[in-house]
Structures are given as structure tokens and as C-alpha cells.
Amino acid sequence: MQTYFFLVAMLLYAVCALVPVRQGGLISAVTAAAWLLHGAALWFDMRTPGGLRVGFAIMLSAALWVSVAAYWLENRNFALDGLRRLVMPCAAAAAALPALFPGSVFQLQGQAPAFGWHIAVAMLAYSTLTIAAFHAVLMALQESRLHTRSPAPNWLGGALDQLPALLTMEKLLFRLIRIGFVLLSLTVLSGIVFSEQLFGAVMKWDHKTVFALLSWLLFAALLTGRRWRGWRGKTALRFTLAGFATLVLAYVGSRFVLEVVLHRGLA
């Protein structure tokens, strides 16, 4: 059943990406329907008797699911049609991935009850920083369009013209980064606790730990530089995208290599 939900959600996301901006009511309704179906599919797909299905596809799909919700909420206060043009195609692709790459089952028996909260907070951290990365890409495109305006607008150019001012976009970006940084900090701290339970060591120095800590340091440096040095513009965008890229490598990228390239299970 969840496979059909994933596929229908994918189609609805694709439709939502193509609907003209003047059809605001239709966009909102289609987005809500796709998001609900996507969420139901994730719920049925991840829950297994005594365990939890995990993998790069499910993690990426869940991150885009939360990102769609963040877009929908932000769009109620600001005109962010350009964000829709970026998020919806990515959400459509992510909705189809769990049907193609089912991942593997992680047994929860014997784990602390709070372990599920660790996974939930980690997904929220990934999702919040994913939508922040979309914001950063939009701001880069918006700034580029201001300097090299084309006389013949295309579908994305028209959406960029309807975005709030760069200063407002920057405020939204740092609000998302602050929320994502708090969630990422909680993820790292709770990960240290569960690492001791699972592996008998306070910190398991594998690729996931190294990339997660590197991402945390990049976002910490960005927020510190913003607070004390007034970092903004291209510097802020570079740090945001670098932090997001290392965060993707920490789990999604490594799981992709293990599951798709090396055909290995949980590691």
C-alpha cells in the first residue's frame, strides 16, 4: 500500500511544481494532499514489528517531507513561490526513492525508549537544514539575477522576482539555521549517549561521526561569525551549503554508498 502512496505523492508533488503561481488555492490543496500521502507512506514503510526500517532513501524522503511542511508554513507569511519551484521537484524524486531502495530493518528490541527520539530529532535536524540549503540556493540565484537581469524571464526567473527582498530572505535563512543548529546539537549529544550503549565507547570515530561533527563546526562558525563579525551574503551562503553538504555525507551519502554501491546492510 505504501508503494502506491509514495507514487501518488510523487505525481502530486510534480503537479504542484508545474501549477502557475496565480492558482494559489490549488497549489495549497495539492501540496497538502501530497504531503499527507507522503507522510502516511513513510509511517507504514518505516514501522516494522519490533524494528524500524532505515536507509538513505527513507532518510532523504523524510527530510524532504518535513521540508515541504516548512515551505508550506513559510509561504503563508511570505511569497516564496521560487522555493516551491525548487522543493517540489526534489520532493517528488525523494517520494519515489523508498519504493526503489527499501533500506534495511534496525531492531529496536533492547534499545532505550529514548532511542526513537534520537532518530526523530536527527530527522528534524536534517530536514530543517535541508530547507535552509534550499533558501541559500534561492538567495544565490536571486542575487545573481539582480546583477545580470535577463530581458526574457523564464519560469524560475518569474518566481525569483516574486521573492521577498534579500534582507528578508537572509533573516529567514538564519532563523532556519539557528533552529537546525539546536536540533543538530541535540542529535550529536544524544548520539554520543547511544554510541556508548551500542558500541561500548563514548564516540565511535567513523565517517558518520566525523562528517556530523564537521557539519556542526561549520554551522557553529557561521553563527559565531554572524554574531561577532556580521557575516552575510556570499560568506553566509558558502558556509550554509558547505555545512549542509557535509551533513548529507554524514548519513545519506554514506548510506547510499553502502546500500547501492556496495550492497551492504546496516553499518
Residues 6+ apart with CB under 8 A from 233: 143
As a dihedral over the C-alpha atoms of residue 213, residue 214, residue 219, residue 221, rounded to 10 degrees, the angle is 110
Main-chain dihedrals φ then ψ at residue 161, nearest 5 degrees: -65, -20
Residue with grid cell 561521526, as numbered in its chain: 209
Paired with 106 in beta bridges are 52
CA distance 18 to 85: 8
- E strands present in 63-187: 104-107
- Per residue in 86-129, pLDDT (tens digit) is 888 889 998 888 888 776 666 666 666 666 677 778 888 888 88
Joined grid coordinates for residue 42: 513513510
Q: Is the pLDDT of residue 259 over 60?
A: no
For the chain, the structural domain boundaries read 2-261
Contact by Cβ (8 Å): 63, 123: yes
Among 26-35, 54-63, 185-194, 257-266, the range scoring the smallest mean pLDDT is 257-266
